[in-house]
Amino acid sequence: MKLFDTIDKIKFEGPDSDNSLAFKYYNPDQIVAGKPMKEHLRFAMSYWHTLTGDGSDPFGAATMERPWNELDGIEQAKLRADIGFEFMEKLGMEYFCFHDLDIAPEGKNLKEKHANLDIIVDYIEELMKKTGIKCLWGTTNAFTHPRFVHGASTSPNADVFAYAAAQVKKAMEITMRLGGENYVFWGGREGYETLLNTNTELELDNLARFLQMAVDYKEKIGFTGQLLIEPKPKEPTKHQYDFDTATVLGFLRKYNLQDHFKLNIEANHATLAMHTFDHELNMCRINGALGSIDANQGDLLLGWDTDQFPTNIYDAVLAMIEVLKNGGIAPGGLNFDSKVRRGSFEPVDLFYGYIAGMDTFARGLIIADNLIKDGVFDNFTKERYASYETGIGKQIINKEVGFEELENYALGLGDIKNTSGRQELLENILNQYIYR
C-alpha cells in the first residue's frame, strides 16, 4: 500500500515553474561555495511530526488523514516506515531523525518496548539499505509517558532516573545500529514548575551525572556519533534547564562535559528564549559548539512552540551565513522539526510543507554565499573594529596594558569620536541581495 501513488519524485524546475510539486530553488547537485547544495544542507525528515503527528491539540481531536490510522501496533509502525521512506525518496531527502517512541509502540513494559524496537529497527534497516537513506540522529522520548511527569534524569524519583537511563541506552544502541551520525538530548520535562518543591541543585547535578553516564556508555560501545544537546527555555515545563545556548555552555563547562557535546539549535526554541535564530547559531559557532539544526519557525504573535515549516527567507539567510562561516554543519544537518498546521490534514500537505522549507533554505544558502563572497558585512565589520589593530587597541588585545596604563592614555585623550554603525545601510544591502 502506497500513500503517494499520484505524486512523482519532486524535481527541481527553477524559480519560473508554476508546478506546486516542484522545487524552485533546491537543486541538490548545484555547486555552491565549492560543494553540492545537498551537502551543505543535509536535510532530514522528522519522523514524529511527519509520521506520528495526528493534528490533535489541547482543544481538539486528531485531524490528519493517514492510511495507518486504521492500524495499530507493529503493523501500524511498519506501514508508517514504508510510507515514510517513500515520502523521503520522493523528496530526495537523504536523512531522517527519530525518537524511539516514533518508530515502535510503547508496549506494556520496558521489555516489550525493547522487543518492539528490535522488530522495527530490523525493518527500517532494510528500508535504509534499499533506498540509501541515512539516519541523521536518534533520541529517546522521555517526556510523553506519565512516569516522566516530574522529569526524567531530573525527576525526584530515582526509579524514573533509572528508567530513563535504560531508554537512552537502548536508543543509543539503535541509533548506532542504524548508522546515526548524532544522538540528541532534548530536555523533555527536565525543568521545574515551582521552586517551592524543587531541589534545583540536585536536579542539575543529576542531569550532569546522567549525561556523563551517556558519554561513558557511548565510549564503551564505540558509538562514534556526535552527542548534541537541544536548548529550549520553556514548554512543557515553565523553566527548562537547557534554557538557551549560553545556559547550556555554562552548564557543560561547570560539569566538565564541554568536550563531549555540541548543540542542536532549533529556530523556534531560540525565539521562545527571546533570541533570534542567528543569535543562537552565532553563540554556538564562536564557542565551537554548533552541532546541528532543527529547522522550523515560530509565530511571533504566539508564545509557544508552533513548529511551523520555515518560510522566512530573511531568517534562513542569516542562519546560512552562520553555517557557512562554521565551515558547514556536518555531521549535523537541517532536520525539519516542523509540522503542517492542524487544518492542513491531507497527505499532499506534507509535500508542500517540506518543499517550502527546502526551497527557503536552498535560496538562503545561495544568498548567504553571495553576501560572504562579496565581503558585504565582513569588510564593514572589520573596518568597524580597526581600532584594535593598531595603537592602544592592539596593546589591549596583546594584554600589554592594564587599568593604570589605560587611565594614563584616557587622560591624554581629547573628544572621543565614534563612527556610525550604518545599520540601515546594511539592511538595505541585505534586502538587495535577497531581492535579486
HEC secondary structure over 122-189: HHHHHHHHHHCCEEEEEECCCCCCHHHCCCCCCCCCHHHHHHHHHHHHHHHHHHHHCCCCEEEEECCC
- Per-residue contact string for residues 332-371; x = within reach of Co ion by CB under 5 A: -----x----------------------------------
Of these, 173, 266, 315, 359, which contacts ligand XUL (CB under 6 A)? 266
Please give the full DSSP string across 225-270, using - where no structure is assigned.
SEEEEE--SSSSSSEESS-SHHHHHHHHHHTT-TTTEEEEEEHHHH
Residue 290 CB, nearest approach to ligand XUL (Å): 16
Closer residue to ligand XUL (CB): 53 or 364: 53
Residue 401 CB, nearest approach to ligand XUL (Å): 46
**Taking CB under 5 A as the criterion, which residues in 272-311 touch Co ion?**
294
Q: Which residues have a catalytic role annotated? A: 99, 102
The C-alpha cell at 225 is 556519533
Q: Which does 245 bind (CB under 5 to 8 A by kind): ligand XUL, Co ion, none?
A: none
Task: Verify binding: residue 232, ligand XUL, rule CB under 6 A.
Answer: yes
Closer residue to Co ion (CB): 242 or 337: 337
Residue 358 CB, nearest approach to ligand XUL (Å): 18
Q: Is the dihedral of CA 156, 160, 164, 165 positive or negative?
A: positive
Q: Please, are residues 21 and 355 in contact by the beta-carbon 8 Å criterion?
A: yes
Residue 296 CB, nearest approach to ligand XUL (Å): 8
Q: Total binding residues for ligand XUL by CB under 6 A?
A: 10
- Per-residue contact string for residues 162-191; x = within reach of ligand XUL by CB under 6 A: ----------------------x-x-----
Q: Total binding residues for Co ion by CB under 5 A?
A: 3
Of these, 27, 139, 308, 360, which contacts ligand XUL (CB under 6 A)? 139
Backbone angles phi, psi at 426, to 5 degrees: -65, -40
Of these, 100, 181, 242, 294, which contacts ligand XUL (CB under 6 A)? 294
Closer residue to ligand XUL (CB): 237 or 360: 237
Task: Encode 85-105: b = buried (16+ Cβ within 10 Å), e = exposed.
Answer: bbbbbbbbbbbbbbbbbbbbb
Distance in angstroms (rounded) separating the CA atoms of residues 233 and 247: 10
The C-alpha cell at 142 is 522521555
For residue 196, give the H/E element and its range.
Answer: none
Those residues whose C-beta lies under 8 Å from the C-beta of residue 216, and which sit 6 or more positions away, are none
According to DSSP, the residues that pair with 239 across neighbouring strands are 192
Residue 346 CB, nearest approach to ligand XUL (Å): 23
- Per-residue contact string for residues 79-108; x = within reach of ligand XUL by CB under 6 A: --------------------x---------
Q: Which does 232 bind (CB under 5 to 8 A by kind): ligand XUL, Co ion, none?
A: ligand XUL
Give, rounded to a whole angstrom, the gap between the first and last alpha carbons of the chain: 44
State the residue for C-alpha cell 529550549. Answer: 232
Q: Which does 78 bind (CB under 5 to 8 A by kind): ligand XUL, Co ion, none?
A: none
HEC secondary structure over 382-404: HHHCHHHCCHHHHHHHCCCCCHH
Distance in angstroms (rounded) separating the CA atoms of residues 351 and 219: 39
What does the binding site for Co ion look like in residue numbers (CB under 5 A)?
Answer: 266, 294, 337
What does the binding site for ligand XUL look like in residue numbers (CB under 6 A)?
Answer: 99, 139, 184, 186, 230, 232, 266, 294, 305, 337
